Amino acid sequence: MYRFFENLVDPFADRDVETPPAALWPYVKSQLRPFRPLLALMALSGVAVALIETGLIFYSGRVIDLMESSAPGTFFDEHGLELLLVVVFVLLIRPLFIGLNHLLLEQTLAGNMQEQVRWRAHRHLLGQSVGFFQNDFAGRLTNRVMKQGEAVEDSTYMAFEGIWYSISYVLGAALILTGIAPVLALPLLGWVVVYGLYTRSIALRVSAASESWSDARSMVTARVVDAYSNIETIKLFATTGGEERYVLSAMRRLRLRFQRFLRLMTELSFGLNVINGVLIVAMLGPAIWMWSIGRVSVGEVAAVSALTLRLNGMSGWIMWVTVRLFEHAGTIREGLRSIATPLSVTDRPGAPALMVREASIRFDEVSHHYGKGQGGLDRVSLHIPAGQKVGLVGRSGAGKSSLVNLLLRFRDAEEGRIEIDGQDVAQVTQSSLRAAIGMVSQDSSLLHRSIRANILYGKPDASDAEMIAAARRAEAHEFIQSLSDPNNRSGYNAQVGERGVKLSGGQRQRISLARVILKDAPILVLDEATSALDSEVEAAIQETLFGLMEGKTVIAIAHRLSTISQLDRILVMDQGRIVEDGSHDGLLAHGGIYAGLWARQSGGFLGTDVA
């Protein structure tokens, strides 16, 4: 039974990834869409439960009147059948309605909504460009995704379990009071108006305070995660005290915003008790007076009393639910700052997959200045024939990484066109484009998974034999065999830690290389691929790299010029332009920038002070 209701909605259904609406209510409606066929049933079951509860209070008053009008000895003879039917209703019918209501709200709604929101948010963020993540804290983005699911689910649940149920309950109470004496319903209606206005005034202030509080909470999470992710740097530079102050300033801000929120809670509690005191006096006073003049019975006074005390108890809960709804609204709005950000790099509708035949690459008047008018690339035109091995040289900021990032479509060029085998990379799917390019970067961070999972990232359906062969070619198999983790997993099953911190830089680099070897893409990009290796391992890897390059189109970025001197062609970049183009020997004979760099190298590295 539970599984039936849990599976009425699939939170992970493969729906199109669209940019979520940036406004609160349209966003919530988009999340409710898969639940739409069931919302009416949730609402009806909630009304039924509320009416049953108010009906029981009314009937308890009737029982008192029946007892007052009957002799004890004949009470069950006169009313036994009626009471038996009520017992059957209470023991069988009432639990069925309540059970159905909770199955819908908890198993169907709450059990699926939270993960649906998180999954959709995560899928959307995965589609963002690399620059999007470079401009924000990973901790803050994570906090927003996780809190978003909780806020939307809890808001929807409380809207049905709290607000809708309460409205139905108040309407049921008003009907009962009208049936007893219409005048008794007037204090209830007046109380509803005052209560609603007061709750709204507080809730609007709570919403603003909650958004501010949520923003401060995200910042604390971001700074804490940032510290943990870079703990080696903190320890290395002995800056623990500075990190403490950095996080403490965010925590102080969080405390102040939380205190403002709590002040509203205290104000809410005080005002609520005043309003509820008025409700008790305004309803019980007239009921007792009407009994004194014979207009209502003792049982009806008891029913009015029970309803009043029940509403008094519910009112605090209703207001808390309302405040929580507005609090969640603030959290959702704060999360939408990231989650509703449109994708900056997208596939055009119906984009075909890239079809690589020869793997020739062409840049045609390509410019990209990151929206700043300077930096990046400036009107670069370049043709790399299929199978050619090209080295990129230039000091930091010359545009080498920009050229590679645009080829991979981590960003879209502001001007110009990039083609692979005559196909504009902006017109094909991103996944097919990147599947055709293998890259080993100087940032050799790994996923916090097993060695096996990290290498198989290059080709998920590869066999163990293929994986081990790739590791051997990357000079990684021997050290992998000796690895183990705290959970006694060893070899290829050992976990590498977050970003691969349990391994040395050279070990991470070799696993990254094994991953690219296994991928075996027709285009190969090497960005300082041997920068983390010692000389002995580098010498062994160089032979592997040249073997890997065979039959591929290669772009290799290097500061150590000796690593690219044997390539077919070397490009020298400066201030976003290609300023020299030729073979190693040709560029040396030319006597230009490259020749100067080669002459001034120290230990084989490119100096950064060379013009």
What range defines the domain where residue 586 resides?
A: 347-436+521-611
Would residue 420 count as lying in a domain?
yes
On whether both 252 and 175 belong to a single domain, the answer is: yes
β-pair type (389-393, 423-424): unpaired
Of 339, 362, 387, the domain-final residue:
339
On whether both 203 and 287 belong to a single domain, the answer is: yes
On whether both 504 and 533 belong to a single domain, the answer is: no
Provide mean pLDDT across the span 310-333.
78
H-state helical runs in 501-601: 505-519, 535-549, 584-590, 593-600
Would residue 468 count as lying in a domain?
yes
On whether both 309 and 173 belong to a single domain, the answer is: yes
Place of tokens 């970049």: 573
Measure the CA dihedral 213/219/225/226, to 10°. -170
Of the two residues 544 and 333, the one the predictor is more confident about is: 333
**Would you state the structure tokens that stand for residue 75, as one six-digit string?**
């009470």
On whether both 417 and 566 belong to a single domain, the answer is: yes
- Averaged pLDDT score across all residues of the chain: 84
339 pLDDT higher than 50: yes
For the chain, give the number of residues.
611
On whether both 354 and 299 belong to a single domain, the answer is: no
On whether both 260 and 366 belong to a single domain, the answer is: no
227 pLDDT higher than 90: no
Q: What is the pLDDT of residue 16?
A: 62
Question: Distance between CA atoms of 481 and 377, rounded to whole angstroms?
Answer: 44
475, 544 Cβ separation under 8 angstroms: yes
Residue 37 banded pLDDT, cuts 50, 70, 90: confident
Distance of CA 572 to the CA centre of its chain: 41
For 238, the 3-state DSSP assignment is coil
300, 62 Cβ separation under 8 angstroms: no
Backbone angles phi, psi at 562, to 5 degrees: -65, -25
Place of tokens 């014979």: 294
| CATH number of the domain encompassing residue 392 | 3.40.50.300
**Would you state the structure tokens that stand for residue 132, as one six-digit string?**
């999007």
Provide mean pLDDT across the span 15-29.
83
Q: What is the pLDDT of residue 540?
A: 64
429, 355 Cβ separation under 8 angstroms: no
On whether both 452 and 595 belong to a single domain, the answer is: no
Over the stretch 551-571, which tens digit does the pLDDT of each residue have? 899 999 887 787 788 889 999
On whether both 296 and 379 belong to a single domain, the answer is: no
On whether both 529 and 489 belong to a single domain, the answer is: no
Of 284, 311, 339, the domain-final residue:
339
602 pLDDT higher than 60: no
Would residue 515 count as lying in a domain?
no
The total of structural domains in the chain comes to 3
Would residue 383 count as lying in a domain?
yes
509, 444 Cβ separation under 8 angstroms: yes
| CATH number of the domain encompassing residue 89 | 1.20.1560.10
Question: Distance between CA atoms of 254 and 257, rounded to whole angstroms?
Answer: 5
Of 290, 314, 339, the domain-final residue:
339
Would residue 599 count as lying in a domain?
yes
Q: What is the pLDDT of residue 390?
A: 94
Would residue 6 count as lying in a domain?
yes
Q: What is the pLDDT of residue 474?
A: 85
On whether both 308 and 212 belong to a single domain, the answer is: yes
Residue 604 banded pLDDT, cuts 50, 70, 90: very low
Q: What is the pLDDT of residue 417?
A: 94
Question: Distance between CA atoms of 305 and 282, rounded to whole angstroms?
Answer: 11
Would residue 516 count as lying in a domain?
no
Cβ contacts of 546 within 8 Å, gap of 6 or more: 566
On whether both 224 and 328 belong to a single domain, the answer is: yes
Would residue 513 count as lying in a domain?
no
